[in-house]
Structure 1
Amino acid sequence: MLPPAGPQRTLAAAQLASSVGDGAYYTCSALYFTRVVGMSPTALGLGLAIAWALGSLAGVPLGHLADRRGPRRTAVALALGTAAVVAALLVVRSYALFLLAVCLYATAQSGLTAARQALVAGLVPRAERTGLLAHLQSTLNGGLAVGAAIGGIALTVGTRTAYLGAFAVTALGFLAGALVLRRLPEVPPAPQESGTGPRLAVLRDRRYAAVTLVNTVLLLRMPLLSLILPLWIAQRASGLGWLGSVLFVLNTLAVLAFQVRAARDVSGLDSAVRAVRASGVLLLASCVVCGLSALDVPVWAFGALLVVAAVLQVAGEMRQSAGSWQLGFDLAPPERIGQYQGFFGTGVAVARTLGPLLLTALLLEGGLAGWLVLGGVFLAAGYAMGPVARWAARDRRSAPAPVVPAA
């Protein structure tokens, strides 16, 4: 369950500290701002959508900064910045300050993810990266579960002091993560070359963009567990409201226990493509089973179908994650890992922003037909990744990388 000692285990420890903080924040933030601060749900949702849209745009330039100034110092600075922003939320009362704070939070988070990926590339041999990322994903889920438990205590108490205590845990988690990252050896900045090529070369790399787009389509699975299935249950079997939490816990524990194993056979382009293709099949199967629950079935059968669908979904999720990690690294120029990973990570922000809007209309109103359409989209994306990724790899081999000027 543990990665090898040395930089890999240190990266996992930093991930654990930060994810505990994230779990506490995600569990409490919405109710804190609506119930304690007095913000309307509409204003909260708009602010978060703006924040994550800006954060997704910041990933590329901050990843470029990590390439040019060194990923360790950049990651430490962004982790400290995240801790400071969350600490500032303890005293935020106005909407303008809230909007500023969440925009800074989302920006720092996007940049931190890109800088950490650049650290992985600089400290871990290519053949071991996907395995380490699987360990980090398991660690992330374990930390989120611990943080969510802390946030659950704050929700149960329900006082302003309890909510602020959860936010303090978040700030301390990112502070601890920054201190752990400082123990890593510094990765030298990428060589600065002279020339006339684009500084943010990834923005002109249409083949890498195509891979990112296909991966973003598969990431539309993300809102299913956190948003769509709870609403689906409330709409069709309100007496099973507790099942949404059970499915979330099932997903968390499965990733914690099996993500490393699911990534073990992914070591290159071909195995990554096979993993993504398998994820499309598994996600299609999950959607079909979910769609069957729209039929007139007993309550126990409805619940059983959703459990089976959740198992298929988490299996597809783990295969998609493993394949996409490998592709995201293998198709990026070694000297620009930070900015390329920052771009690849925008898929998560796009899926979180657009996914709820698209899927609530498609699935909650479309029923079985809507689930079948979504499953077909997942299957098509899974099979499209092969030719798109090989197209991008052929371009990488045959064309020289554009020259990047000194920052």
Structure 2
Amino acid sequence: MPLQILPPAGAPRVLAVAQLSNSLGDGAYYVTSALYFTRVVGLSPTQIGLALTVAWAIGSVTGVPLGALADRKGPRGTAVLLALATGASVASFLFIRSFVPFLLAACLYAVAQCGLAAARQALLAGLVPPRARTGVLAHLQSTLNAGLAVGAALGGVALHHDTRGAYLAVFALDAASFLFCALVLLRLPAVPLAAARGKGEPRLAVLRDRPYAVVTALNAVLLLRMPLLSLAIPLWVVDRTNAPSWLVSALFVLNTLAVMAFQVRMARDVDGPRTATRAVRRSGLVMLASCAVFALSAAGLPVGATVAVLVAGAVLQVIAEMQQSAGSWQISFDLAPAHHVGQYQGFFGTGVPVARTLGPLLLTSLLVVWGVPGWLLLGVVLLGASLATGPAVRWAERARAQTTDAGRHDVRPPAASPHPRAGLCTPGRRRAPGPRG
């Protein structure tokens, strides 16, 4: 398993160490923050929910300009500054005693996190060859899950003590983890700055790229699997089945360990647009099967059979998750112009806060309230989004090819060239789909 988690030496491994650092702190933060803000600070659950909804909504619209900043100023320096800003926002939680400061700190945290994700993707794109990016991202995802698991265990220690000092220690750990992350990122080489914008080219070109926007929207639908695992399935198990409540924790551990062990293997064959769209399409089929199996768990089976059905549903769900992740990573890079990777990754990453913001209400209404028909409808919706991804990607490729061809027609061949088309073929020619070096 360690060989599956650790990426190759060099820039990928440095990125993994940075990922491990802040995911460890985040794992402890995630399992303790709600209790800290309610029990110690005295905020109501409604206040916390409102602040986080506002914060992630703001974060979702700042990822693009911060990604564009990484393109213009360099992704390494931008990532370092945003890691420091994230650490500062977490450290500020140590001193918060009322709602308004909490709202402001939460907004800073969400903005910095969304920007950091975009800058890191741009940094990876500048340091890792295109063909190897999805494999490296799979390693980073495994590292992320390992850090979250260890961090959650540390957070469990704080929950056991249930004291103000224990909670504050967790926040200090999380803040320090982002400081260490910034120091680790400084070990990476600087990435050459992107080329200057062409004449008439918009500053935020991604906002005018309709095919990429459609791909991003479809990916946001598929990312509903995130609140499905963290919120909807636990509520379903407790409210709609006769399974023991401890199974909720067991299913979460199963998901974490599966991603740690098998994400790299799942991503091994994804190396271009065709293989990526196939992976996403397969994920939709598996997700439909998972939803049907979860729906079956409410059929009043014996407890042992219900547990087995829920475990089977969780196994199918994590297989779909790993396939969808690998495919979406590859697609997001393949469709992004080399000089706009930061802003394109910032835009593609908006699917995460959108799913976090809209998913809880949507899924609880669909599954916990509506029940079995809701599971079946969710499966059909996710399958539809996965099947639509292929045509959307091909549309984006055609649009990119047309843009490239238009740019070529503006370039006159050298007068001394014996062949009229010499000089036009190599510099801007679009490569055939498939493995890329």
Would the TM-score normalized by the shorter structure come out above 0.5? yes
RMSD: 1.3
Specify whether residues 293 and 401 from structure 1 end up closer, same or farther in structure 2 by C-alpha distance, changes over 3 A only.
farther
1:260-284: CA deviation from partner (whole Å, max 9, x where unpaired):
0000000000000100000001100
Specify whether residues 361 and 173 from structure 1 end up closer, same or farther in structure 2 by C-alpha distance, changes over 3 A only.
same
Is contact 1:201–1:402 with CA below 8 Å preserved after alignment? no
- Pairing 1:337–2:346 present: no
Q: Distance in 1 between matches of 2:397 and 2:36?
A: 47
Given candidates 252, 257, 279, the residue that maps to 2:256 is: 252
TM-score normalised by L of structure 1: 0.97
Partner of 2:28: 24
Shift of 1:365: 1.7
- Pairing 1:3–2:11 present: no
- Pairing 1:56–2:60 present: yes
The 5 Å alignment of 1:87-126 reads 87-126=91-130
- Pairing 1:233–2:199 present: no
1:336-362: CA deviation from partner (whole Å, max 9, x where unpaired):
000000000000111111011111111
Partner of 2:71: 67
TM-score normalised by L of structure 2: 0.91
Given candidates 357, 360, 363, the residue that maps to 1:356 is: 360
Q: Distance in 2 between matches of 1:295 and 1:85?
A: 46
Amino acid at match of 2:136: L
- Pairing 1:277–2:309 present: no
Count of residue pairs the alignment pairs up: 403
Partner of 2:181: 177
Q: Distance in 2 between matches of 1:379 and 1:236?
A: 24
Is contact 1:333–1:401 with CA below 8 Å preserved after alignment? no
- Pairing 1:262–2:270 present: no
Partner of 1:308: 312
Q: Distance in 2 between matches of 1:227 and 1:402?
A: 48
Is contact 1:197–1:402 with CA below 8 Å preserved after alignment? no
| Larger deviation, residues 291-300 vs 141-150 | 291-300
1:337-391: CA deviation from partner (whole Å, max 9, x where unpaired):
0000000000011111101111111111221111110011111111111111111
Amino acid at match of 2:121: Q
Is contact 2:64–2:343 with CA below 8 Å preserved after alignment? yes
Q: Distance in 2 between matches of 1:23 and 1:58?
A: 24
Is contact 1:198–1:402 with CA below 8 Å preserved after alignment? no
Q: Distance in 2 between matches of 1:233 and 1:193?
A: 52
Q: Computing the radius of gyration over CA atoms, which structure comes out larger, 1 or 2?
A: 2
Partner of 1:134: 138
Q: Distance in 1 between matches of 2:198 and 2:291?
A: 50
Q: Distance in 1 between matches of 2:274 and 2:237?
A: 39
Given candidates 159, 166, 179, the residue that maps to 1:162 is: 166
SS in 2 for 1:90: helix
Amino acid at match of 1:396: R
Is contact 2:241–2:297 with CA below 8 Å preserved after alignment? no
Partner of 1:151: 155
Tell me which stretches of 4 or more aligned residues in structure 1 moved more than 4 Å: none
Shift of 1:194: 4.6
Gap regions ≥5 residues in structure 1: none
| Larger deviation, residues 362-371 vs 49-58 | 362-371
- Pairing 1:298–2:298 present: no
1:124-180: CA deviation from partner (whole Å, max 9, x where unpaired):
000000000000000000000111111111111100000000111101111111100
Partner of 1:397: 401
Amino acid at match of 1:210: V
Shift of 1:400: 3.7
Gap regions ≥5 residues in structure 2: 408-437
Amino acid at match of 2:316: L
Identity %: 65
Q: Distance in 2 between matches of 1:150 and 1:372?
A: 37
Specify whether residues 5 and 259 from structure 1 end up closer, same or farther in structure 2 by C-alpha distance, changes over 3 A only.
same
Shift of 1:298: 1.6
Partner of 2:321: 317
Specify whether residues 402 and 286 from structure 1 end up closer, same or farther in structure 2 by C-alpha distance, changes over 3 A only.
farther
Shift of 1:35: 1.1
Q: Distance in 2 between matches of 1:306 and 1:193?
A: 52
- Pairing 1:377–2:381 present: yes
Is contact 1:141–1:255 with CA below 8 Å preserved after alignment? yes
Shift of 1:401: 9.6
Shift of 1:237: 4.0
